[in-house]
Structure 1
């Protein structure tokens, strides 16, 4: 069971109250920008790290496999390219499918009732 205060408690500040100050304190623009920047980097930093590490692992693997032989390097490059294209295709397909489902869901309600 939920507590009574949970449903009515506002989690975000009112945009009109931000400029006028919330609860009597006026937060400067610099502090608000810094706060939003920190929140953004908390979300963006893992995604950036994942992209760089995935790219780095593939480049390092190609370098080591290139020392084994040219046929092995060609095989690795071909398999990696095919798998990467397949994974990106599946990812794009699922994202388009999800957008279609969301649009259908929110436009299916009869708002005139």
Structure 2
């Protein structure tokens, strides 16, 4: 499976997708128009190790809801990601059983390398 989970209106996601230059067999999933399923979130957690690693603490709703002042559990992170797409750290790039989460230079460089080999 080759998939990039992104937000179509996010300039950073678009820049990273153009860097990866995905082949036609890569599935692009816009989480605003095609929301994540619980099965997808659970599968991503299995690959990444935790729901917190998939969670964006930069999301505006994170501070707006004062979540930054709370101690959140793994179940809380999972439920928030399922509740609103803004809580997913983007983009999420998946190649087989490898997952790359977020837009740090190191993560993007590793994803570009893996996508270029498949």
Q: Give TM-score, length-normalised by structure 1.
A: 0.20
More helix as a share of residues: 1
Determine which structure has more spread, i.e. the larger CA radius of gyration. 1
Q: Give TM-score, length-normalised by structure 2.
A: 0.20
